[in-house]
């Protein structure tokens, strides 16, 4: 499923599940709600929607885990976010503390062509200005 076909909210949930899954394994509704600042009922409804879209699997009382398709979308959003942070800091001179919020807004709307041009203009970086790794165009973490 294409990232462009998914709402900003869905993309944000997938990115959050990816982060929490990396930290804790399976992700509970409570942890997801807390991290996103939403009610558990809202998080539960979105988890059901993501499961129906085959972007994650959820077992009651066992938590949620991304499917391969869900992980690909999450990694693409993370890649866009981190490339944008670096571009905003290095090319436009925004302070490193200001780039996160701007990248959060822009990560959902840049095209694959713009992503590739930013990547090339930055010399195919492997880390963002905070030192976090940037997934490659193949959505693999830098080695």
pLDDT digit string, tens, across residues 66-105: 999 999 999 999 999 999 999 999 999 999 989 999 999 9
Q: How many angstroms separate the CA atoms of 32 and 42, rounded?
A: 10
Mean pLDDT of the chain: 93
Given a cut of 80, whether residue 3 has pLDDT beyond it is no
Answer whether residue 65 is part of any domain.
Answer: yes
Give me the domain span that covers residue 36: 3-71
124 neighbors 133 (Cβ within 8 angstroms): no
Q: At what angle do helices 29-36 and 40-52 cross, to 10 degrees?
A: 110
Higher pLDDT, 58 or 1: 58
Q: What is this structure's pTM?
A: 0.91
Write down the residue that tokens 């066992």 correspond to: 62
Where residue 56 sits, what CATH number does that domain have? 1.10.10.10
Given a cut of 60, whether residue 50 has pLDDT beyond it is yes
Answer whether residue 115 is part of any domain.
Answer: no
Answer whether residue 80 is part of any domain.
Answer: no
**In the structure, what pLDDT confidence band is assigned to residue 40 with cuts at 50, 70 and 90?**
very high
Answer whether residue 139 is part of any domain.
Answer: no
SS3 2: coil
Q: Residues 50-56: contacts with CB within 8 Å, 24+ apart?
A: 50/10, 50/13, 50/14, 50/17, 53/1, 53/10, 54/1, 55/1, 55/10, 55/14, 56/14, 56/17
Answer whether residue 119 is part of any domain.
Answer: no
Q: How many angstroms separate the CA atoms of 90 and 25, rounded?
A: 34
State how many domains the chain has.
1
Share of the chain above pLDDT 70, in %: 97
Given a cut of 70, whether residue 1 has pLDDT beyond it is no
**In the structure, what pLDDT confidence band is assigned to residue 62 with cuts at 50, 70 and 90?**
confident
What is the pLDDT, as a whole number, of residue 5?
A: 79
Answer whether residue 7 is part of any domain.
Answer: yes
Answer whether residue 94 is part of any domain.
Answer: no
| DSSP assignment letter at 141 | P
Of the candidates 50, 62, 113, 61, the one whose C-alpha atom is nearest the C-alpha of residue 83 is: 113
């Amino acid at each position: 499923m294409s990232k462009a076909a998914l709402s900003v909210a869905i993309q944000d949930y997938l990115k959050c599940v990816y982060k929490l899954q990396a930290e804790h394994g399976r992700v509970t509704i409570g942890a997801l709600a807390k991290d996103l600042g939403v009610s558990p009922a809202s998080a539960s409804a979105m988890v059901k929607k993501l499961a129906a879209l085959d972007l994650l699997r959820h077992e009651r009382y066992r938590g949620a885990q991304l499917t391969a398709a869900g992980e690909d979308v999450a990694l693409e959003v993370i890649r866009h976010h981190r490339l944008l942070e670096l571009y905003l800091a290095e090319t436009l001179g925004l302070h490193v503390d200001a780039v996160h919020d701007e990248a959060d807004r822009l990560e959902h709307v840049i095209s694959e062509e713009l992503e590739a041009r930013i990547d090339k203009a930055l010399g195919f970086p492997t880390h963002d200005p905070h030192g976090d790794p940037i997934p490659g165009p193949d959505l693999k973490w830098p080695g």
